[in-house]
Amino acid sequence: MPKKVGKYSIHRTLGEGTFGKVKKAYSEEDGEWVAIKVLDKEKIQRQNMGSQVKKEISIMKLVRHPHVVQLKEVLASRTKIFIVLELVTGGELFDKIVSEGRFKEKSARFYFQQLCVGTEYCHRQGVCHRDLKPENLLLDDQGNLKISDFGLSALYEQDAEADRQSLLHTTCGTPNYVAPEVLADQGYDGSLADTWSIGVILYVFLAGFLPFDEPTMAALFRKIQKADFTYPSWFTPEVKDLLSKILVVDHTKRYTIRQIMEHPWWRKDGPYADCSD
């Protein structure tokens, strides 16, 4: 007999997360497979679910989009939190980049458009991700991108300082995708912090390596806080123009997700191409 959590019977492990395992599970009642992220309460150092967190979860349940992994419900026991998610079966985009080395412009644009469309939708619902990186981008059985863990960073910690700590913590000590203002511990706008991460992700898609990558944390922070990076020779002038408007330290001058989606490089082809010209 498989173990039960609420109406779900727990099956095999799908993956290992920062705070616990992700399990495949089945609801007899709904005739549906799901993924359940099991978080150890002690590991995330939270005593109980604050009302702020509860509020965020209820917002996240309203987020429904083809490019965002659907949050179904959150259950809790004395020691664990169970996050019930839509099951996505095509693996991590991260592994695809690793196996292909890097993406050609067409595939990069294909995934980038889906990433932007999903993110823009969530921002409109008032939900930010705050930990966007290729490891959190999953592929479905059709090969389309689904953003995983949207808004979940809010679940880990509540106040801004704790948020910052947990961001640094969940990225396992290498916050390569984190915006400068998040590192600098200033008040920050979650949606513009997401935009920065999206810029780093686009760079990684096309380069096959990180724009900011240093052996020590101090050196990495310095590079990020100066937006000190270079473009590989194969980057086109158009994509360099786009990246130069996203990876901007001053977040008030950084491109918003809407502006990114209006840039000529974004609109060229792919599933969300601009057909008007």
Q: Which of 30, 131, 213, 269 is catalytic?
A: 131
The only residue of 5, 10, 14, 261 in contact with ligand ADP, by rule CB under 6 A:
14
Cβ neighbours around 68 below 10 Å, total: 26
* Least separation in angstroms between CB 241 and Mg ion: 31
194 is catalytic: no
User: Rule CB under 6 A: is residue 90 a binding residue for ligand ADP?
Assistant: no
Q: From residue 9, how far is each of 24, 233, 254 by CA, in Å? A: 9, 51, 46
Stretch that binds ligand ADP, among 14-22, 102-110, 221-229, 246-254 (CB under 6 A): 14-22
CA angle 84, 155, 79 (to 5 degrees): 70
- Transcribe 217-256 into DSSP letters: HHHHHHHHHTT-----TT--HHHHHHHHHHS-SSTTTSPP
What part of residues 112-151 is at the interface with Mg ion (CB under 5 A)?
A: 136
Stretch that binds ligand ADP, among 16-24, 73-81, 177-185, 230-238 (CB under 6 A): 16-24
Give the separation between CA 274 and CA 261, rounded to whole angstroms: 10
Residue 223 assigned to a binding site: no
CA dihedral (199, 246, 130, 161) in degrees, to 10, reads 130
With CB under 6 A as the rule, give the number of residues binding ligand ADP. 19
Give the separation between CA 58 and CA 255, rounded to whole angstroms: 29
Stretch that binds ligand ADP, among 48-56, 80-88, 114-122, 243-251 (CB under 6 A): 80-88
CA angle 266, 206, 14 (to 5 degrees): 100
| Nearer to ligand ADP among residue 14 and residue 210 (C-beta) | 14
The only residue of 23, 25, 35, 199 in contact with ligand ADP, by rule CB under 6 A:
35
Stretch that binds ligand ADP, among 18-26, 102-110, 155-163, 250-258 (CB under 6 A): 18-26
Phi/psi of residue 101, nearest 5 degrees:
85, -65
**Amino acid (one-letter) located at 70:** Q
Residue 14 interacts with which of Mg ion, ligand ADP, none, CB < 5 to 8 Å by class: ligand ADP
Residue 19 interacts with which of ligand ADP, Mg ion, none, CB < 5 to 8 Å by class: ligand ADP
Name the token pair of 223: 């590079």
Chain CA centroid to CA 19, Å: 16
Residue 181 interacts with which of Mg ion, ligand ADP, none, CB < 5 to 8 Å by class: none
The only residue of 88, 145, 178, 227 in contact with ligand ADP, by rule CB under 6 A:
88
> Which residues carry a binding-site annotation?
37
Contacts with ligand ADP by CB under 6 A lie at 14-19, 22, 35, 37, 69, 85-88, 92, 135-136, 148-149
Q: Catalytic residue positions?
A: 131
